[in-house]
Structures are given as structure tokens and as C-alpha cells.
Amino acid sequence: MRNWRHILRIAAKVAGGCAVLAALGFVEHKSGTMPVRDIAVEMEKGGGMHFIDTDALRQEVIKGAGPVIGTPIDQVDETGIEQRLRAIPCVAEADVYHTMDGVLHVKARQREPIVRVVNADGSGFYIDKDGWTMPLNANYTARVLVVTGQLAEPFAECAPVNVCAGSDSLVLNTRSRAIHAMARTIQADPLWSALFTQAVVDAGGDFTLIPSVGMMRLRVGDGSLLAARLDKLRSFYAEGIPQTDWRRYSAIDLRFNDQVVCTKRTNF
């Protein structure tokens, strides 16, 4: 008798499992044929940037995929929509999925530029925090560090390129990797991020930082030792400048070991 009860319990569990699977299959089938009734778009705006908004993303979904609203959910090419959205230069990530209530969800993250590069011919582009280039935007200008000077970087018109990745000759023969590294170092420190708004690159690849206040220029070399040289500048600001009038100096040179070389103004 006990054996029969045991067998019946097992049979009941199997039957219950089959019923659940059948129900799930029915729900999945029904949800697959349900027409899309709405598109819910969420945009993560890195650093408060406004290169693209949710309405523009929604239009990109509709423009590329056709009449999404009313289309059975299993006929919507969600992977294709993701690929199109990720091809937008200012979009870093995009995920598209649907829920059983007929809503197509679009979640995207905007790129966060940290530096704007302006070539000698006036062309320019951004580089984001991850090293990807971005074209300029006619409707929005990011308030980031601006780098000018003897530059001819070839990324103003081309598709996004990661200037930090790989050993591509196009990247290695430019200044963009060093520019990105310099911008990351400055952005990481609240003092330097607030103080420096512009940098100038000379023909040899050396950087000069221009503070947002004052008229001094700070020579820091090719950027490879920037963190250490800025630490030296921090000590100089803390110990040297309060004891004298910083307006007497037109330039501060940080390229030398264990010393700060200041150039006095001739007309002060």
C-alpha cells in the first residue's frame, strides 16, 4: 500500500509539472502573438550630457523597424533595433526587450565625453571616458576640457574609434591616446577638473595647461608623468603661491625633477 501511495505522489508531481510547463508554453505563445501597444524608452545620460533624448531614440526605433506599434511582438527584430541604436555615435549601450503586457522596452546609455579636440584646421571631435571618439553635435556642446594646438587628428569625420584599444597604426600615429590619458587624469581630481579648461599641444607633442583663472601657463610635457607633476603643482600652490604674488609669473614649468621653474612677467 505504501508503495502505491509513493507512486501516486510521484505521478501527481509529474502531472503538476507538465501542467505548469503547458501553461508557460501557452502564455509564451500568447505573449508572442500579442501586438506591441507601447514603446518605453529610458536613457541614462552620463554626466548630464544631452546629445540625444528619449523622443529621438523612439523615432530611431520606429524609423528603422517600421510600424512597431501593432506588430506582433515575436515579429519585432529586437536584436536589429539594438544594433541600429548602438551605431549612433553618442550611444554607448542599448538593450531592447519586451514584456508580456505588449510593451517594447528600450534602455540606452549615452556616451560621456571628457575632452574636445580641435584641430588646427578647425575640425574637431570628442573623446569619451572609455576612449571612444564622438562627432561634434550641432544641437549640444559639452562643457569639457578643450585641447587645441598643432593637431591634425583624423577622427573628426570617421566612425567612432577607440583610441585606447589595440595597436592600430591610425591611432598610434596620432596624439589622441595621450590627450585621452591627460583628460582622464585631470577629470579624476576635482581641483584640476575645475581649474583647467584648456590645453595646448605644440608640434613636439608637449602639453601646456591653461587655468580658468589667472594668466599663467603650465608646461607639463608629453603627459606621461602628468599625475606626478600635478602633485608637485599642488604642493607649490599650497606652499609657494600664498607667500608671493602669483600674478608675477607668466609660466610655470613642471617638467623638471624635484623643482618648479617659474617665468616672471616682464611688464608686471
CATH number attached to the domain at 38-110: 3.10.20.310
Strands 38-44 and 103-110, how do they pair? parallel
pLDDT-derived band at 241 (thresholds 50, 70, 90) equals: low
R_g over Cα of the chain: 29
pLDDT-derived band at 257 (thresholds 50, 70, 90) equals: confident
- Residue 104 scores a pLDDT above 60: yes
- pLDDT (tens digit, 9 = 90+) per residue, 164-176? 986 777 777 899 9
- Residue 24 scores a pLDDT above 50: no
Q: And the C-alpha cell for 93?
A: 549601450
How far apart, in Å, are the Cα atoms of 6 and each of 13, 14, 18, 158? 11, 13, 19, 71
- Residue 19 scores a pLDDT above 60: no
Domain boundaries along the sequence of the chain: 38-110, 113-264
- Residues in Cβ contact with 62 at an 8 Å cutoff, skipping those fewer than 6 apart: 39, 68
Cα-based angle 191, 205, 132 (whole degrees, multiple of 5): 65
Q: Which is higher by pLDDT, 149 or 267?
A: 149
Q: What's the mean pLDDT when you consider all of the chain?
A: 84
- Residue 97 scores a pLDDT above 80: yes
**CB neighbours of residue 16 within 10 Å:** 10
- Residue 2 scores a pLDDT above 60: no
Q: Which residues pair with 51 in a beta bridge?
A: none
pLDDT-derived band at 216 (thresholds 50, 70, 90) equals: confident
Backbone angles phi, psi at 143, to 5 degrees: -90, 90
pLDDT-derived band at 10 (thresholds 50, 70, 90) equals: low
Q: Which residues pair with 217 in a beta bridge?
A: 251
Instruction: Report whether 36 contacts 26 (CB < 8 A).
Output: no
How far apart, in Å, are the Cα atoms of 199 and each of 116, 148, 171? 10, 6, 20
**Measured between alpha carbons, how far is 51 from 48 in angstroms, rounded to an integer?**
10
- Residue 152 scores a pLDDT above 90: yes
CATH architecture for the domain at 113-264? 3-Layer(aba) Sandwich (3.40)
Say what the pTM is: 0.81
